[in-house]
Amino acid sequence: MHTWSSLVCTVFLLVLCLTGLPLIFQDEIGDALGTPHSAEVVAGTPALPLDTLLASAQARYPGDATNFIALPDDDPGMATVGLIDHAGGAFHWVKYDRHTGTVIDDQRQGGAQKISFMDVMLAIHGSLTVGLPGTLLLGVMGLLFVAALVSGVMLYGPFTPRTGAGSLRLRGNRRLRWLDLHNVIGTVLLAWLGVVGLTGVINTLEKPLFGLWQATDVAKLLADTASSKGPVAHAASMGSPLNDATSTAQRGKSTQPVQDAINEALKRHPNETVASILFPSEARHHPHHYLVWLHGDKPLTRELLVPVLIDATSGAVLDGAKLPGYLTALEVSRPLHFGDYGGLPLKLLWLAFDLGAILVLITGVYLWISRRRTRTAPAVTEVIT
What pLDDT is attached to residue 99? 94
pLDDT digits (tens, 9 = 90+) for 75-116: 999 999 999 987 777 899 999 999 999 999 999 876 677 788
Asked if 7 and 147 sit in the same domain, the reply is yes
Q: What percent of the chain has pLDDT over 70?
A: 85
Asked if 255 and 320 sit in the same domain, the reply is yes
Residue 15: name the closest of 361, 331, 377 by CA: 361
Mean pLDDT over residues 21-43, rounded? 88
Asked if 318 and 221 count as a contact pair (C-beta separation under 8 A), the reply is: yes
Mean pLDDT over residues 12-31, rounded? 93
Mean pLDDT over residues 46-65, rounded? 93
Is residue 91, in this structure, part of any structural domain at all?
Answer: yes
pLDDT-derived band of residue 249, with 50, 70 and 90 as boundaries? very low
What pLDDT is attached to residue 240? 31
Is residue 142, in this structure, part of any structural domain at all?
Answer: yes
Asked if 18 and 131 sit in the same domain, the reply is yes
**Measured over all CA atoms, what is the biggest interatomic distance in the chain, rounded to whole angstroms?**
93
Least trusted range by pLDDT, from 83-92, 93-102, 268-277, 278-287: 83-92
Amino acid at 365: V
CATH number (domain holding residue 49): 3.10.450
Is residue 195, in this structure, part of any structural domain at all?
Answer: no
Rounded to an integer, what distance in angstroms lies between the CA atom of residue 265 and that of residue 306?
10
pLDDT-derived band of residue 280, with 50, 70 and 90 as boundaries? very high
Parent domain of 45: 34-115
pLDDT-derived band of residue 239, with 50, 70 and 90 as boundaries? very low
Asked if 145 and 109 sit in the same domain, the reply is no
Asked if 208 and 320 sit in the same domain, the reply is yes
Asked if 7 and 54 sit in the same domain, the reply is no
Q: How far apart are the two ends of the chain, measured CA to CA in Å?
A: 35
Is residue 199, in this structure, part of any structural domain at all?
Answer: no
What pLDDT is attached to residue 223? 87
Asked if 182 and 219 sit in the same domain, the reply is no
Q: Is pLDDT of 250 > 50?
A: no
Asked if 239 and 313 sit in the same domain, the reply is yes
Asked if 248 and 318 sit in the same domain, the reply is yes
Mean pLDDT of the chain: 85
Asked if 324 and 218 sit in the same domain, the reply is yes
What's the domain count of the chain? 3
Q: Is pLDDT of 273 > 90?
A: yes
Boundary residue ending a domain (115, 143, 174): 115
Q: Is pLDDT of 166 > 80?
A: no
Is residue 327, in this structure, part of any structural domain at all?
Answer: yes
Asked if 239 and 316 sit in the same domain, the reply is yes
Asked if 12 and 156 sit in the same domain, the reply is yes
